Each structure stands twice: as structure tokens, then as C-alpha cells.
Amino acid sequence: MSVEAWAEVARHGKYYQAAEDQCAIATFEIFFQAKIDSDSAARKMASIYEPLLRQRLKQRVSGLWALFCDAVKTLGGQKEIAKRQIDLLDSISKLPDVTDANGNTLQFPGVYWQDLPDFGWIFREYAMDIDARDDMEDNSEWDAQALPLLNATTFAAMKLAHDKKPDGMDFHAEASFRTGIESPCETSEQLRDAVMYVPPAATWILLAGETIYTLCKTDHKRDDGAPGSALSHEDWFWGRRWGYSLERWTFWRERFGEISKVQNLKDDVKEVAARATLEMERIEKKA
């Protein structure tokens, strides 16, 4: 979808009819079109939403993050736009603190804008979470979620690689590996899940593999005492611990290799799994 098409759809969205959200859509549009830089866009967003914050109407500022996530799900697969989205978040986080009439920094909790309050959970729920297949009336509803999830993952992986630190995206990467490659790929339902989840898992490696390898080398958030899963061992291949480790990195590489050879899996899914395997091998040799 083009930037113009996204903006047109957003303008008519039932949840984005507030005046501030309409102004934000216009700003997003010209920013994604590279007509203004990220600092200018950030200042414009602040001028739109800060009056609401000073009135303690924080819930209405959620529209900014919801629109951002909508743009990520629709446009984030275009790497140039994903890079601009990352730059915009950086610029917003560097804006001056929002203060009251006496010059005191407002706490919500979290400080606007340096802490990006509420962005984390809104990104998780609006961009990375998808509806369960059991809730779908037909397969087309499930399949329609694949591209938005992949777009959001592209943005998230690029942000992890850009930041060179977890900043919350490590949680999404681990969750993607868990759903994408740590379970069997044999039954028709499992194969359908693989079509949804394997490409995003591979995307984390292809776009942020070196950062993820560093997390594994440093045992980032490793918890050997954590339960493996509520699922049975037969349904969940990795049941030893949560977090990152070189042992788990090796397991992920082996799983990508196995998935790339699953007979009844779609060729494009097998191909991206094979590419992830090669990238992991390249990263290991480089280290």
C-alpha cells in the first residue's frame, strides 16, 4: 500500500476522527513521503498532543501510538519507511519534557516524551499480537494477518538492530522464535501456523541477527529456573529455559534448517528458513 492510500484509509477510521488524530495523520503522511525530517515531525506531534497532556487527557494521546502502529503494520515492510519510523521514535524520545504551568515535569507515570509512555504495550497489542485461529470463521481471516505481522516484525527487527540494545524488542524476538520454530511442523494445522510464523522468525535473523547473537552470547535474560511451557513436551521442542543463550541460538539454527526441508511446507517459507540458517552460520563464522 502507498503512503497516500494508508493516510486515506486512516482518515476514515472510526477511531481516528478526533481533531488531533486527523492532524497527526497529515503529519505522518508528509513525513513518510520524506517532505519533512524526523525532528520536524516530532515537534509537530508534540504541538498536537501536549495540550491534551496538560489537561491530563492522556488517554487521547494513545491515538498517536495507535496510528503509529497502524502505519507500522501497513507500511513497515517497506524498509525505507520503517527506517523513518524508527527515526521518528528517536526524535520523539528526545523532545523536551512536558511541563505544567509552573514548569514541573508531568508524570503519568513515565515522562513524555523521553519514556514514550504507553508505546510499549500499544505496540505489543496493536502491532505484534494477532487473533487466534480458533476465533476465525474461515481461513482467509487468519491468512490476512500474515502481511501485517511480517511488516511489524520488519520494523521491530530493524529497530533492534538500529538500537543495538534490547529496548523491549528482545521480548518480541524471543516470542517470534517460540511460535515460529520451537514447535513441530507436521500436521496440517502446524503447517498453516508455520506459514504465519516462520517468515517473521526468519526476519529477526535476517535483519537483526548479529544483535540477537550478542544477546545469546551474553545470556540476556537467561532464566534456567523458568518452566519451559504449559504445553506438553511433544508439542514444544524447547522446554529448558527462557531467555537467550548460545545453546538456544544453536537450537534455533538447527530448527530453521529442519523447517527448510519439510516436504509439505510452502516453498517460500522453506526458502526464507534456509536463508535464516545461512545467515546464522555466517554470523557464527564472523564472530
For 9-42, the pLDDT digits (tens) are 999 999 999 999 999 999 999 999 999 999 999 9
- pLDDT-derived band at 230 (thresholds 50, 70, 90) equals very low
| Residue pair 92/113 in contact by the 8 Å Cβ criterion | yes
Read off the pLDDT of each residue in 200-206 and give the average, rounded to a whole number: 98
Flag whether pLDDT at 225 surpasses 80. Answer: no
- pLDDT-derived band at 236 (thresholds 50, 70, 90) equals low
- Burial profile 141-168: b = 16 or more Cβ within 10 angstroms, e = fewer: ebeebeebbbbbbbbbbbbbbbbeebeb
List residues bridging with 242 in a β-sheet: 223
Read off the pLDDT of each residue in 136-163 and give the average, rounded to a whole number: 93
Flag whether pLDDT at 164 surpasses 60. Answer: yes
What does the pLDDT read at residue 170? 96
C-alpha cell at 99: 511541563
Flag whether pLDDT at 49 surpasses 50. Answer: yes
Distance CA 143, CA 120 (A): 25
- pLDDT-derived band at 231 (thresholds 50, 70, 90) equals very low
Of 5-9, 31-35, 230-234, 246-250, give the lowest mean pLDDT range. 230-234
Q: Give per-residue pLDDT as tens, 97-139.
A: 999 888 999 888 899 999 999 999 999 999 999 988 777 777 8
What does the pLDDT read at residue 62? 92
Angular region, 110: left φ>0, alpha ψ -120 to 50, beta rest: left
CA torsion sign, 41 to 44 to 50 to 52?
negative
How many of the other CB atoms lie within 10 Å of CB of 224?
Answer: 10
Which residue do the cell numbers 514548569 mark? 103
The structure's pTM equals: 0.93
Residue partners of 12: CB distance under 8 A and separation at least 6: none
Read off the pLDDT of each residue in 56-64 and give the average, rounded to a whole number: 87
Q: Which amino acid is at 7?
A: A
Closest Cα partner for 125 from 201, 198, 70, 50? 70
What does the pLDDT read at residue 282? 98
Flag whether pLDDT at 229 surpasses 70. Answer: no
Of 10-19, 53-62, 63-72, 191-200, give the lowest mean pLDDT range. 53-62
What does the pLDDT read at residue 240? 63
Mean pLDDT of the chain: 92
Read off the pLDDT of each residue in 184-196 and give the average, rounded to a whole number: 93
What does the pLDDT read at residue 239? 67
Virtual CA dihedral for 120, 125, 126, 130, nearest 10 degrees?
A: 140
